[in-house]
Structure 1
Amino acid sequence: MKILVPVKRVVDYNVKIRVKADGTGVELANIKMSMNPFDEIAVEEALRLKEAGKATEVIAVSIGPVKTDETIRTALAMGADRGIWVKTEEAGIEPLAVAKILKAIVAEEAPGLVILGKQAIDDDCNQTGQMLAALLGWAQATFASKVALGDGTVEVTREIDGGLQTLSLDLPAVLTTDLRLNEPRYASLPNIMKAKKKPITERGAAEWGVDLTPRLQVLATTEPTGRTAGIKVSSAAELVGHLKTAGVL
């Protein structure tokens, strides 16, 4: 069984985000980029399923402009078998367009499982996995914290407000990963060298007739307002006085 893992190139989570002077977006020039952390968890889970003998091949897919292949190489260095790079002029393709492209790739590759990060840390949309499942007509389980692959089924434990929910899905299926699912491995130097020889197929969105025109318009991007410093009080009476002044009591 093949497992398809979409991965996204985003600003590294350790980088302090800076808004462009004209407010049109965040600064991406000369900024460290890396794989979306939730996607790293998805890659790790796919590799563990393969190592357990539940899957035969792990395919990493990414959509984006120049240097997007670096993110695919990271997945290959972790242990993925091959990559597919859908080249675009711009980054930040909207979730519906991504889901349509992935649907076309799924039709060609025929995987038994698609594992995605639950969301990307740059836009926090949390939509692609659900949209892909809807387009494919496949079963889906989101926010997975445990995955157990069976014979033609997959059992997924997910966190909900009331505790833990366990679902049993018939394959093929779409899963999205949560933080507690696993701890992604670091790519070793030998595997990084091996990844350079692993194949990456380059494709174009036009091959499947997918329209990448944005449906949303960003009007402005602004930094959050700074927080004012707090104060210390010497007694409960003083605290109550401040709360009354603030209208809380």
Structure 2
Amino acid sequence: MLVVDDEREIADLVALYLENEGHEVIVRYDARTALQVVDDPSIRLDMAILDVMLPDVNGFQVCRAIRTAHRFPVIMLTARDREVDTIAGLNFGADDYVTKPFMPLELVARVNAQLRRYRRYDGGREPIAPPPDDGVVEINGLSVNTRTHECRVDGAPVHLTPSEFTILATLCRRRGEVVSAEELFHAIWGDEAYLKTSNTISVHIRHLRDKIGDSVERPRYIHTVWGVGYRIDDNG
């Protein structure tokens, strides 16, 4: 995995904790050399941890560059405890964020949670037991395969981040039911505390709609039930 932070002490400390967990870590201290790693076809990355405030290009731009070609999880590190930074990171395709200062073990827990989901859905190194059915849900031209982490709309592939895929798969599995934002949050981040004022899920839903050609006004798939949650119906 890739760790990028211009504060060398923080980057090296994070790498140390992750290596103690058995992860292979590449450390870079600026965006330029980090993107060289991302673009190197000989290097297989399964995660990137990006500081927002880098000396050359900010972490949001690095995240956006990653998302043009890769689906592996991205965690943003931000020194500002402001929701606008969180939303900005999610808008650029990040899967999670951690606010500085943070406990290294907290970051390690976030990393492990993201990697479990990514490897489960993206054919990583961890073997998984097959689901009781073929793992495919089809609704009005939308096809979601939870075994291969493939999503298609009218036969065309749609590239989703692990968090986006988790939300979509959860809605599809519970088609016809209204699923609250809190339930979707916990489907991604497990037992982490949910804040009702957070816009995290709504940002992910907006990205999902953009990618699958849906809209709020005339939903083909994802319906917003105001004040309650989201629902996917068989009949659109």
Q: TM-score, length-normalised on structure 2?
A: 0.25
More helix by share: 2
Choose 1 or 2 for highest CA Rg.
1
Q: TM-score, length-normalised on structure 1?
A: 0.24
Which structure's relative contact order is higher, taking Cα pairs within 8 Å and 6+ residues apart? 1
More strand by share: 1
